[in-house]
Amino acid sequence: MNKIAINTTKRTEFIDITSRIEKIVKESKVKEGLCVVFCPHTTAGLTINENADPTVQKDIIEHISELVSPGKNFLHSEGNSNAHIKSSLLGSSLNVIIDGGSLALGTWQGIYFYEFDGPRERQVYVQVIGKL
């Protein structure tokens, strides 16, 4: 298993981790298989989305924040229930097919780490499974 260290700098932010995952896949020498990406944090998440226009990430952050705002009357004593809910909405893991030694992402797709309770030091785990 490989670990990617991520240092977030804002309460909520999107970080493109595609190139870091692609590097791990290339170094594994796996030609056909699966890349599993896992976030071991309950206030952060992962998603695959457009990587061509940065306004997409801004729109997602804005509208998820409207959907689950911090001003709600939450019971959780740490004051970050909205971050836990956002994390659950996005999810904590992704599976990406490896084809010809590369991630089989669409033309406009990238893999993103979402921070909902930063700034923090985070990790993402990457496991490459398949045939050399």
Q: What is the CATH number of the domain that holds 19?
A: 2.60.120.460
Question: So what's the pLDDT on residue 70?
Answer: 73
Is pLDDT above 90 for 98?
yes
pLDDT of residue 105: 98
Whole-number pLDDT of residue 69: 79
pLDDT at 24 over 80: yes
pLDDT digits 0-9 by tens, 27-86: 999 999 999 999 999 999 999 999 999 899 999 999 998 888 776 778 787 878 999 999
Averaged pLDDT for residues 79-99 = 94
Supply the pLDDT for residue 40: 98
Domain total for the chain? 1
What are the residue ranges of helices labelled H in the chain? 18-28, 55-67, 81-90
Q: Which domain holds residue 39?
A: 2-131
pLDDT, residue 75, reads 79
Alpha carbons 117 and 81: distance in angstroms, whole number: 10
Average pLDDT score, the chain: 94
DSSP symbols for 29-46: T-SEEEEEEE---TTEEE
Q: What is the pLDDT of residue 38?
A: 98
Pick from 83, 67, 68, 71: nearest CA to 116? 83
- Asked if residue 44 lies in contact with residue 117, where contact means CB atoms within 8 angstroms, the answer is yes
The pTM for the full model equals 0.94
State the pLDDT at residue 129: 98
In the predicted model, what is the mean pLDDT of residues 92-114?
97
